[in-house]
Amino acid sequence: MAEPSCLKCGNNQFQMTSVDLGSPRHKHSLVHCAQCGSVIGVVDELNVEATLQEARGFIQRQFSALRERVRPARGRQAPAETPAKSPPAIRSKSDDTA
């Protein structure tokens, strides 16, 4: 397998340095040559575990709120449901003559 090397100086050792690209939610790192500093690429430092924990908390809060709306708390009366209105009766011409 070929060993990766810097396109600018030919060095084969690289480093990663955190950099602020203006996104408060995601951190990024630059992959650069350890000798000349030439940037090879950018890596998103997405912390999958933290993102999943944040999503889990959001889903749990939404679920709890929905459960409270659907099932009233113990000891409280459920709100009375309004009966469905029946559609108006359709009258025919024969009803008018009778």
Contacts of 73 (CB under 8 A, 6+ apart): none
Looking at residue 59, its pLDDT comes to 92
Mean pLDDT of 39-54: 80
CA dist 60 and 49 (Å) reads 16
Looking at residue 51, its pLDDT comes to 78
pTM reported for the whole predicted model: 0.43
Beta bridge partners of 28: 19, 44
Looking at residue 77, its pLDDT comes to 59
Signed CA dihedral, 53, 54, 55, 61: sign only = positive
